Structure 1
Amino acid sequence: MDIQLDTAPCGYVTISDTGIIRSVNQAFLQMLQCGRDELIGRHIESAMSVTNKLFFHTYFYPYIRLYGHVSEMCFSLRTNANEEVPVLLNGVRQEREGETVIDCVVLLMRKRMEYEKDMLQTKTRLEELYQATNEANKRLERLHEEYEQKQQELMRVNHQLETLASTDPLTGLRNRRFFQERLLASLASYRESGEPFSLLIFDIDHFKRINDTYGHPVGDLILTDLARLLQSLSRETDIVARFGGEEFVAILPQADLEEAVRMAERYCSAAAAAAWGEYRITISIGAATVTAEDTGETIVHRADLALYASKNGGRNRVTHASHMPLSK
Structure 2
Amino acid sequence: MTVLQAVIEKNQQELNDRLQSSILNILSLMFGLGLLGVLLAHYTIKRIRRGIEFFSDHIQKSSARMNLINHDDVTYQEFDDLAKVFNEKTEKINTLLHQDDLTGLFNRRFVDAQLQALLSSPVSDQQSLALILFDIDHFKRINDEYGHLVGDDALCEIAKCIQSQTRKQDFVGRFGGEEILVALLDTSNDEAFALVERIRQ
Q: TM-score range by the shorter chain?
A: 0.5 to 0.7
Residue number in structure 2 paired with 1:201: 133
Task: Report deviation, 1:158.
Answer: 3.2
Q: What is the letter of the counterpart of residue 245 of structure 1?
A: G
Task: Report deviation, 1:166.
Answer: 0.9
Q: What is the letter of the counterpart of residue 139 of structure 2?
A: F
1:271-307: CA deviation from partner (whole Å, max 9, x where unpaired): xxxxxxxxxxxxxxxxxxxxxxxxxxxxxxxxxxxxx
Task: Report deviation, 1:159.
Answer: 3.2
Task: Report deviation, 1:192.
Answer: 4.3
Residue number in structure 2 paired with 1:267: 199
Compared CA separation, residues 191 and 157, structure 1 to 2 (3 A): same
More helix by share: 2
Residue number in structure 2 paired with 1:213: 145
1:142-188: CA deviation from partner (whole Å, max 9, x where unpaired): xxxxxxxx988765553332112111111111111222222223224
Q: Alpha carbon RMSD of aligned pairs, Å? A: 2.7
More strand by share: 1
Residue number in structure 1 paired with 2:111: 179
Residue number in structure 1 paired with 2:183: 251
Residue number in structure 2 paired with 1:167: 99
Partner of residue 156 from structure 2, selected from 192, 210, 224: 224
Structure 2 unaligned spans of 5+: 1-81
TM-score, length basis structure 2: 0.53
- 1:250 and 1:243 map into 2 onto residues whose CA distance is 9
SS in 2 for 1:205: coil
- 2:193 and 2:88 map into 1 onto residues whose CA distance is 41
Task: Report deviation, 1:238.
Answer: 1.3
Give the aligned length: 123
Compared CA separation, residues 152 and 258, structure 1 to 2 (3 A): closer
Q: What is the letter of the counterpart of residue 231 of structure 1?
A: Q
- 2:111 and 2:117 map into 1 onto residues whose CA distance is 10
Pick the structure with greater CA Rg. Answer: 2
1:243–1:249 Cα contact (<8 Å) kept: yes
Structure 1 unaligned spans of 5+: 1-149, 270-328
Task: Report deviation, 1:220.
Answer: 0.7
Compared CA separation, residues 257 and 242, structure 1 to 2 (3 A): same
SS in 1 for 2:123: helix
- 2:103 and 2:157 map into 1 onto residues whose CA distance is 8
1:23-53: CA deviation from partner (whole Å, max 9, x where unpaired): xxxxxxxxxxxxxxxxxxxxxxxxxxxxxxx
SS in 2 for 1:244: coil
The higher relative CO (CA closer than 8 Å, separation ≥ 6) is in: 2
Compared CA separation, residues 190 and 152, structure 1 to 2 (3 A): closer
Compared CA separation, residues 260 and 190, structure 1 to 2 (3 A): farther
- 2:83 and 2:185 map into 1 onto residues whose CA distance is 38
- 1:189 and 1:253 map into 2 onto residues whose CA distance is 13
Identity rate of aligned residues, in percent? 43
Task: Report deviation, 1:211.
Answer: 0.4
- 2:128 and 2:91 map into 1 onto residues whose CA distance is 33
Residue number in structure 2 paired with 1:158: 90
- 1:241 and 1:186 map into 2 onto residues whose CA distance is 14
- 1:183 and 1:151 map into 2 onto residues whose CA distance is 30
- 2:142 and 2:136 map into 1 onto residues whose CA distance is 10
- 2:85 and 2:148 map into 1 onto residues whose CA distance is 34
TM-score, length basis structure 1: 0.34
